[in-house]
Amino acid sequence: MKPVDTMPHRRRNPLTGEWVTVSPQRTARPWQGEETAEASAPTNSYDPACYLCPGNTRATGASNPNYVGPWAFDNDFPALSDAQATPVQSELLSVPGGAPELFTASPVTGRCRVLCYHPDHRKTLSTLSTEEASAVVALWVEEVRSLRAQYQWVQVFENRGAAMGCSNPHPHGQIWAVDSLPNEAVKELAQQEAWLDAHGSVLLQVYREQEAALGDRLVLDNAHWTAVVPYWAVWPFETLVLPKRHIEHLDGLQPDEQRMLADLLGTLMRGYDVLFNTPCPYTMGWHGAPGTEATPAWQLHAHLYPPLLRSASVRKHMVGYEMLSEVQRDLTPESAAARLRDAVAGVMSR
């Protein structure tokens, strides 16, 4: 057994510059904490009470079309407002009498979109066919192409399952497009540009090539894409999805890359469901380069964060030391990758 499998240590995330504490010896500790009810999938293809099913009326009174494929619309309750709709002056956000260095605020504007993946209420990315998932990828591409021409950052994401705060089980994701760079984008941009300056290469391209050669954390690989449990993973079964060529944005994908991405995501999601024997909850999101200017240091990638730890009913909590000092994990990324790789292999052999 390698020391890394039993010895507490820290690992650095080169994409953010942050560290994670790994404590593999803690996997043997007994569990007497919270156990949540296992997730269950909808059983009906249509739910008359669902705000996202075709033909239904949403909370605002708007009616959904009888869509037959992926469909997108502006969120009825957006977290951000369009600049033209609600112009805000910076001075209106100031704190009278407060030092500007201590009470800093600025306006933020943007657009929030909802993307329905499929009209069937029971479907998820793990149960869509490759053709159906390809249509979802094509909608991501179309939305990103349109939104990034207007906004600095375009965040495609999906929260699946009540454990991740999803209030509607209908297969859907979201896009938030904002006029400024959020925290994670700032960190990733700085680290990727620093790597390019120092090494003359693209950080995540070099990382993917080395992970593919090493194999310890590799989960899934096809002609155009690779999925790994990253060396610095925070969540127990976190994965990172990377293209095999340098691509800055989702709208840079060629048709064969879109199809192979749909195939990889479907297989990976089914692997998660098999591993935990339940519709696995997760948050998944794409990070593309900010703005419209070329960003040679940036490599398109997706983060996938499932919260489950030991089983479908035991999840990882970010509390205590994680909130106050540094994120920590028990299961090593190598062990997690091996288990997820076996689950994916079972899916592929069916």
Catalytic positions, written as ranges? 172
Alpha carbon distance 251, 185 (integer Å): 18
Q: Are 333 and 231 in contact (CB under 8 A)?
A: yes
Question: Locate tokens 């989960």: which residue?
Answer: 219
Evaluate whether 31 touches 311 at the Cβ level (below 8 Å).
no
Residues in the chain: 350
H or E segment at 239? strand 239-243
Q: At what angle do helices 255-276 and 130-147 cross, to 10 degrees?
A: 120
Rounded to the nearest 5°, which phi and psi values hold at 68? -115, -10
Long-range pairs, 167-171, Cβ under 8 A, ≥24: 168/50, 168/51, 168/52, 169/41, 169/42, 169/121, 170/42, 170/47, 170/50, 170/51, 170/52, 170/53, 170/116, 170/121, 171/116, 171/117, 171/118, 171/120, 171/121, 171/123, 171/124, 171/125, 171/128
